[in-house]
Amino acid sequence: MSRDPRWRSTLFQTLFVGFAVGAGIAMGGILAIRLINRLERAAATPTSPPPATTTAAAAGFTSPTTAPSTTTAPSTMTAPPASATPSPTQAAPQPTEPSPPPQPASYPVTPIPYPCDGLDARIQQIGPVTAEDEALAKTGLTVLCAIRDNRWDVVASYAHPNRGDLRFSPDVYLSPEDLSFPADLVPGLLSDDTIYTWGTQPGSGMPIRMTFRDYVRAYVYDGPYWDEGVPGLDVRRGAGTIEDNHAAFYPHSRVVEFYLPPSEPGGLDWRSVRLIFLPLSPRERYAWRLVAITHDAWTP
């Protein structure tokens, strides 16, 4: 048998197969050990459930009455009662300040610049005492200059933005029945043929029925106020019998008056146009905006 050469081949094959089987078994054992170690480490690591407040915070809720818990939340969370959790659409009430009325869409953001001849000289004629007086005088003179030139677009641009309208009264007593117009509609009134009732005539009590154009000529710019009117701040030079209630009707308001003296001493044909202004805000008393135009004259 030792002389047969095939036994060597068989011996080598048997050794090779045995070696391959042994290596496979060894490799499988190593992989099995590593897998077992990983499973043991994963099993040893605890998985903590998320805190109970995580979901509520993500949804934008806060509990108004329950303090945060210091203990670990159970894995199965129980939803709080409906009365303890606000609705997602129910916003908590917040203190807010009243907002001013919305201004018209075409309302000017700032007054329209309007140059007037001799403006500085007229301001000095008024003799303002403070910077607030000077700002008020300049605004009043600019508005009067625009009224003289029928530039009602400029006049309307000086309307108070928090009110958005201009009030007109044929005398110095203001009332809710006075006509007032949205500022953005005032420039178009010159071409408006509508006859409005502006109040009643003193003495006779007859209604004042006029177009805007005729009313301006009779109760606004009814004399040479720019050239001959005596300007003044917060004064009433005429001795009229009608009560001037602008301070009660418009608290914190101030008046720029332009007074035309009578044609002769002691005469009764004096008259005034009075422009009533409010500050842009209580803290901005150097920016004045127009709220009303009134007329003053002798009354029986």
pLDDT recorded at residue 281: 84
Point out the residues of the chain with pLDDT beneath 70: 1-109
| pTM exceeds 0.85 for this model | no
The closest alpha carbon to 71, from 52, 44, 47, 46, belongs to 52
> Using one digit for the tens of pLDDT, what is the confidence trace for 42-95?
555 544 444 444 333 333 333 333 344 444 444 444 444 444 444 444 444 454
The closest alpha carbon to 112, from 178, 188, 183, 31, belongs to 183
Q: Give the long-range contacts of residues 258-261, CB within 8 A, separation 24 or more.
A: 258/144, 258/225, 258/226, 258/229, 258/230, 258/231, 259/229, 259/230, 259/231, 259/232, 260/223, 260/224, 260/225, 260/228, 260/229, 260/230, 261/230
146 exposed, middle or buried (CB, 10 Å; 0-12, 13-18, 19+)? buried
pLDDT recorded at residue 270: 96
Amino acid occupying residue 219: Y
Indicate left, alpha or beta for 52 from its phi (over 0: left) and psi (-120 to 50: alpha): alpha
Main-chain dihedrals φ then ψ at residue 188, nearest 5 degrees:
-80, -10
Report how far residue 121's alpha carbon sits from residue 127's, in angstroms, rounded to the nearest whole number: 10
Q: How many residues make up the chain in this entry? A: 300
